Structure 1
Amino acid sequence: MRWMETERLALVATFRQADPDAPTLCEGWTVRTLLGHLVQREHNPWARMLDTTARPVPGQERRLGALVATARTAAGYEALVQQFAAGTGPLNPMTWLGDGGQLLEYVVHHEDVRRGTGNKDPRTLPAGQLDALWKNLPLMARFTYRRCPVGVSIASPGRGTTAVHRAPSGRRPAAVVLAGDPVEVALCVSGRQRAANIEVTGSPENTAAFHAWAAGK
C-alpha cells in the first residue's frame, strides 16, 4: 500500500470524528467544505478549476458549494466521506500521481482539520511515511519561497538540510533555516506557519525579513 492510501484512511477516520461545521486552517472553509474540496479535486477537477478561475471569497465557491450542500445532513456527510474513502480508480489521473502528488495534499489537509480549532499536538507517523513526505517537500518549498527576499533552507532531524531558495544576490548562503518534523515543515511551506511547530533560525535581520514577507503573503 502506498503512503497516500495510509494517509487517506487516517483522514477518513478524522473526518468521521470531527464536527463537520468546525473551522479548519483553510480560511472560510469548514471541515465539511474541506471534505467537499477533496472529493471535487479527485472526481470533478474541471469544476474545481472553474471555481478557482472565478476567484471567489473562500467558502463561497459556487460549484464546491453545491457539492457541500449535499452533505448538510448526517447521511449526506457520510456519503461524501464514503466517496472520498473509496479513492480513485485506475483510470483516474489522480491515481497515477501516487505519493508524489497525493501524500502532501492529504497530510496538509489532515492537519487543516486537526488544527483548525487550535490543536497543535503532532501525530506519530511511520518513519517511512515521513521520509516519503520529506522527499516531496523541496519542490513545493522552491515554489513557495521563490520571491522571498532572503535565502531559505528546510531541515528535519535525521534528514539533513536542503537549500530551496538562494538569496537574491545569488552568492550568499541561505539566510534562514526552517526546521522541524516533516509534517511541521510541510505546514510551514504550504502557508500555515502559525499552526506549525517550526523553528526559524538565522540572523535577527534575516529572520525578521522572512517573517515580514511570510506575513504579507
Structure 2
Amino acid sequence: MSIAQRERQKLVETMTAVGPEAPTLCGTWTVRDLAAHLVVRERRIDAAPGIMLQPFAGYLERVQTKVASQPFPELLEQVRTGPPWWSPLRPVDALANLTEMFVHHEDVRRGSPGWMPREISQADEDKYWSLVSKMARRSYRKSPVTVVLESLDGKRAVVRSRPGEEVTLTGAPSELLLHSFGRDEVRIETTGEPDAVSTVLGLDRSV
C-alpha cells in the first residue's frame, strides 16, 4: 500500500471521528467542505480545472456545494475509495496524492486546538524530505532572504538563495512539508535575524 493510500484511509478515519462540521486548516472549510473538494478533484473532471484556473472557479464552487450536500457517509466513502477507474488521477494516485492526502489529513487533525504531532515512520519522513527539499523552492520563491530547510538528522537544502541574510527552518520533514504548503500549525524551529524570520514566516507560501 502506498503512502497516499495509507494517508487516505487515515484521513477518512479522522474525518469520521471529528464529524462533518469540524474546522480544518483550509480557511473556512469544514470537514464536509474538504471532503467535497477531494471528491470533486478526483471525480468531477468537468469542474476540477476551477481549482487552479480562476475563470472556472464559479462553476467549481457550484459543483462543490452540490457535492457537499450529500449524506456525510456517502461523501466519505467516495474519498475512501479514491479516483474511479476512468479518472486521470487513477494511474498516478500514489504520486499525485502523496502530498495531497498527508497535508489534508493534517488539515483535519490540526484544525482544532490541542493537536499533537503523530509518529511518522523514518521511511515516510525520508520520502517527505525528498519532496520538500525540491518543492519548497516554489513555496519560498517570494522570500527576500535566503531560506534553508534543515531536517532533524542534519540534512540541509537551500530552497531560496538571496544575497545577505539567511533564515533556517528546522524540523521533521513532515513538518517542513506542511509549512511549505502554507500551514502555520507546525512544530519547527527558526534561526536568523528576528525581522528576517518574521518575513519568512509571513510569506504567502501557497503552491
TM-score range, shorter chain: 0.7 to 0.9
Matched, 1:137 2:117: no
Q: In the alignment, is the contact (CA less than 8 A) between 1:134 and 1:182 conserved in 2?
A: yes
Task: Give the superposition deviation at 1:96.
Answer: 3.1
Matched, 1:48 2:48: yes
Matched, 1:178 2:164: no
The aligned residue for residue 18 of structure 2 is 18
Distance 1:134 1:93, change over 3 A: farther
Instruction: State the AA in 1 paired with 2:190.
Output: V
For 2:46 and 2:54, how far apart are their aligned partners in 1?
10
Structure 1 residues not aligned, in runs of 5+: 71-75
Task: Give the superposition deviation at 1:98.
Answer: 4.1
> Which of 149, 172, 180 pairs up with 1:189?
180
Indicate the percent of aligned positions where both proteins have the same amino acid. 33
SS in 1 for 2:65: helix
Task: Give the superposition deviation at 1:89.
Answer: 4.2
For 1:55 and 1:151, how far apart are their aligned partners in 2?
36
Distance 1:120 1:159, change over 3 A: farther
- Give the TM-score normalised by structure 2: 0.87
Instruction: State the AA in 2 paired with 1:11.
Output: L
Q: In the alignment, is the contact (CA less than 8 A) between 2:142 and 2:203 conserved in 1?
A: no
SS in 1 for 2:191: strand
Task: Give the superposition deviation at 1:79.
Answer: 0.8
- Give the TM-score normalised by structure 1: 0.83
SS in 2 for 1:96: coil
Cα RMSD after superposing both structures: 2.5
Q: How does 1:96-115 map to 2 (within 5 A)?
A: 96-115=91-110
Matched, 1:84 2:79: yes
For 2:42 and 2:57, how far apart are their aligned partners in 1?
20
Instruction: State the AA in 2 paired with 1:37.
Output: H
Distance 1:197 1:45, change over 3 A: farther
Structure 2 residues not aligned, in runs of 5+: none
Distance 1:55 1:113, change over 3 A: farther
Alpha-carbon displacement from aligned partner over 1:3-29 (angstroms, at most 9, x marks no partner): 111111111111111121111111110
Instruction: State the AA in 2 paired with 1:3.
Output: I
Task: Give the superposition deviation at 1:118.
Answer: 2.0
Instruction: State the AA in 1 paired with 2:92.
Output: L
Q: In the alignment, is the contact (CA less than 8 A) between 2:83 and 2:89 conserved in 1?
A: yes
Distance 1:199 1:4, change over 3 A: same
Q: In the alignment, is the contact (CA less than 8 A) between 1:120 and 1:197 conserved in 2?
A: no
